[in-house]
Amino acid sequence: MAIGFAALLDDIAALARMAAANADDVAAASMKVSAKAAGVVVDDAAVAPQYVRGVNPKRELPIIWKITKGSLLNKAIILVFALLLSQFAPWVLTPLLMLGGTYLCFEGAHKIWELVTGNKEAKDTEPSVVQGEDAEKKVVSGAVRTDFILSAEIMVISLNEVANQPLVDRALILVVVAIVITLAVYGVVGLLVKMDDVGLALTKRDSGAAKTFGAWLVRAMPVVMTIISYVGMFAMLWVGGHIMLTGLDELGLHAPYALVHHLAEGVEGIAGVGGVLAWLVDTLCALVFGIAWGAIVAGVWALTPWGKKAH
């Protein structure tokens, strides 16, 4: 009996070790997958603060929290459909990923065009002055609809990175990614939109140093938001271009990705900095390809009835 009990304890300990190792694997894979979706995440963080521009400061965080809950619901819905596709029709993932990559390139190229021409859409320049609960609901619903597109991109990119994992591990990793990314993005957004309020509060302190820092903070936040929007724009193009290059390679058109790989290999052997240079070359090529692809798509879109109407 004692021997049997000891064997049972050994089995339990082995199961515990396996569970712990599996949890470590899920956590590590989740962080790796989250990094792959970084371009969309940065753009999400750059876009989200626009929804509370002109809003009563007391309502900023409640609105962001409502959008956060909507974003989690978006990702839950997308997660179910993405897992079903990966299980029963995995061949759909590459075309879906490329469709999302095309959208990212289009959006990035469109933003560059707005910068070059100085012709920004009204929705990006006019503050959303919210008055009343109905207007707040309208802002939140609009933000959640926009988030759905970005959430779909994040989840499909993430799923593509773990498509070879068992179904349970795949689901666990994607759940962790969805929660971590959503809370991180909207946590940062909440911090960003309140920083000018923090600065304003500091300017009312008795301390001269606090007043100086508060005034600097108030002046710096518009610059910070502008920088984030630029980073988000180029991150979209980089990620979108990389998705298109790898997707075309998987579908049989090997030349573009082979050229990028060849250029990266040419600098990889440089002592000390080869790895960094190879990454920079790969990233720059993906960015250029993303701009070119986005420009082509934007040009074609402009010729369609929908594009003409939007213009």
Lowest mean pLDDT among 41-45, 77-81, 166-170, 243-247: 41-45
Q: Is the dihedral of CA 243, 246, 251, 254 positive or negative?
A: positive
User: Which carries the bigger pLDDT value, residue 88 or residue 154?
Assistant: 88
Lowest mean pLDDT among 130-144, 228-242, 263-277: 130-144
**Residue 288 pLDDT level (bands cut at 50, 70, 90):** very high
Q: CA–CA separation, 268 vs 51, rounded Å? A: 43
Distances (CA, A) of 47 to 76, 107, 124, 147, 169: 21, 12, 9, 9, 31
Res 163 pLDDT > 80: no
Res 160 pLDDT > 60: yes
Residue range 79-101: average pLDDT?
A: 84
pTM > 0.85: no
Q: What is the DSSP string of 264-294?
A: HHHHHTSTTTHHHHHHHHHHHHHHHHHHHHH
Res 31 pLDDT > 80: no
pLDDT above 90 covers a percentage of the chain that reads 5
Give the pLDDT score at 89. Answer: 83
**Residue 285 pLDDT level (bands cut at 50, 70, 90):** very high
User: Which carries the bigger pLDDT value, residue 50 or residue 78?
Assistant: 78
Q: Are 86 and 163 in contact (CB under 8 A)?
A: yes
Give the pLDDT score at 289. Answer: 94
**Residue 293 pLDDT level (bands cut at 50, 70, 90):** very high
**Which residues, 6+ apart, have CB-to-CB distance to 213 below 8 Å?**
199, 202
Token pair for 258: 């082979």
